[in-house]
Amino acid sequence: MALVIGNGAYQNAPALPNPLNDATDFSASLQRLGFEVRTLQNASFDEMRRALISFSQGARGAEFAIIFFAGHGMELNGENWLVPVDGQLVSDRDVENETISLQQLMRAVSDTSRLGLVILDACRNNPFLNRMQGSKRDSSRGLGRVEPSGNVLVAYSARAGTTASDGPSNGRNSPFTASLLRNIETPGIEIRMLFGVIRDDVMKATGRDQQPFDYGSLGGNAIYLKPPAAAAGGNVPRPPAVPPPVPSGTNPTVVATLQPNPSLALPIPRFRVVGVASDDVLNVRSDGDHAQIVGRLSPGERGITVVARSGDWWQIQAGTTTGWVASRFLEPDAGGSIRNTQFNGFAFQYTNEVASTVSDVSACVAMCSSAQNCLAYTFFVSQKLCRLMAKNDAIRVPNADAVSGLVEARR
């Protein structure tokens, strides 16, 4: 999962030339790496707040969760803040109500199985400082140092207390993001080495005026956003198909894990309304933003079906209501509680499975081999029933039983 924000068209401060390009290009790079990406451009305070709420909920249990922000940031009284495009910041007392805390971003990526990553190309001079009323002496240049916990890493485009460059006026990206884009899709570059290479690139490009810095303490396991290639010129081979159980007089059990297979589309799950205040409603419109309101949905409303998608706008059906809503207010809803399972060093998060009647165990194996995100199957011989378990709630059916990462063949 990834949330990418590029803020350049500030309403109360000088515009920044590169953040929109930085966000657009980085989103495309993450999509090529297999991330589910949501991109915000010139986001207001409310848009950033709502996006973080939705992202935090959707990223729970993900293998990787990344938030990238390009725009204005500031440190005030020991806290770091990211500035939406509609921030006014007349007084230092306005900061908490008009900007987004870096702590919120760190919490949003903290509940992952491998890595939560916050990347900030936001270490510029604070354009609001000279006119802000209050204790200006407590505001520093750039951003302040942070101490993430767990498996969270925070990468600054310039180390704490210093500022970053936007790069040459004719450049498309900032020096930091330009290096990030050049290196992040390199096969086999470990995450800590990645930011080391970026540091060297940026220091060279800026005559050592800008030194990127990352904060956090990760464990000893190597972390790759793109795994090493198996051989020169070749891609990492797909793991073999799930092995079928060996018939015997007992109930054989084997491990069944697969890498995601993007060749087969998933069935569209049900959705529910998220990110809407308890005293507010979600307007359903006839055709996108500012169109006629044809219905309203309540916070937390469930049983919503997505029938078409056009960018950030999705056409939905909910009871007798049909129309378009902003996708950021919907999240998949399995109708059951999320369960977490640890097995053989892997962390699985799921709610349930899909089940289908098949002729024999070989057909069940083939179904799991071809289904996107299938991690395990269970075949019940007497019922000729095949159940598929998926990672990160990608395959859902309400009120199904848990499988716990094992394959069972029952007589």
pLDDT of residue 394: 38
SS3 63: coil
Lowest mean pLDDT among 83-97, 122-136, 220-234, 380-394: 380-394
Closest to 406 in 3D by CA, of 336, 318, 343, 328 = 343
Q: How far apart are CA 135 and CA 93, in angstroms?
A: 10
Please check whether residues 350 and 288 belong to one and the same domain. Answer: no
Please check whether residues 209 and 349 belong to one and the same domain. Answer: no
pLDDT of residue 363: 75
Does residue 144 sit within a domain?
yes
pLDDT of residue 86: 92
Please check whether residues 60 and 190 belong to one and the same domain. Answer: yes
pLDDT of residue 279: 81
Q: Which of 332, 352, 378 is the last residue of a domain?
A: 332
Lowest mean pLDDT among 122-136, 263-277, 299-313: 263-277
pLDDT at 258 over 60: no
Spell out the long-range contacts of 15-19 with Cβ–Cβ below 8 A and sequence spacing 24 or more: 16/70, 16/71, 16/72, 16/124, 16/166, 17/166, 17/169, 18/70, 18/166, 18/167, 18/171, 18/172, 18/173, 18/174, 18/177, 19/70, 19/71, 19/121
Decide which of 105 and 349 is more confident.
105
Please check whether residues 124 and 194 belong to one and the same domain. Answer: yes
Please check whether residues 10 and 90 belong to one and the same domain. Answer: yes
Does residue 69 sit within a domain?
yes
Q: Which of 312, 332, 352 is the last residue of a domain?
A: 332
Closest to 223 in 3D by CA, of 254, 249, 195 = 195
* Domain carrying residue 348: 253-260+336-410
Please check whether residues 346 and 316 belong to one and the same domain. Answer: no
Does residue 248 sit within a domain?
no
Q: Indicate the number of domains in the chain.
A: 3
Does residue 15 sit within a domain?
yes
Does residue 105 sit within a domain?
yes
Please check whether residues 307 and 383 belong to one and the same domain. Answer: no
CB contact at 8 A, 110 and 116: yes
Please check whether residues 320 and 400 belong to one and the same domain. Answer: no
- Residue 304 sits in a domain of what CATH number? 2.30.30.40
pLDDT at 370 over 80: no
Please check whether residues 304 and 173 belong to one and the same domain. Answer: no
Q: How far apart are CA 165 and CA 158, in angstroms?
A: 9
Does residue 235 sit within a domain?
no
Decide which of 3 and 330 is more confident.
3
Does residue 226 sit within a domain?
no
| Average pLDDT in the chain | 76
Please check whether residues 120 and 189 belong to one and the same domain. Answer: yes
- Residue 50 sits in a domain of what CATH number? 3.40.50.1460
Q: Which of 287, 302, 332 is the last residue of a domain?
A: 332
Please check whether residues 366 and 282 belong to one and the same domain. Answer: no
Please check whether residues 11 and 125 belong to one and the same domain. Answer: yes
Q: How far apart are CA 402 and CA 266, in angstroms?
A: 20
pLDDT at 241 over 70: no
Alpha-helix runs per DSSP H in 227-328: none
DSSP state of 54: H
pLDDT of residue 251: 34
CB contact at 8 A, 64 and 225: yes
Does residue 376 sit within a domain?
yes
pLDDT of residue 42: 96
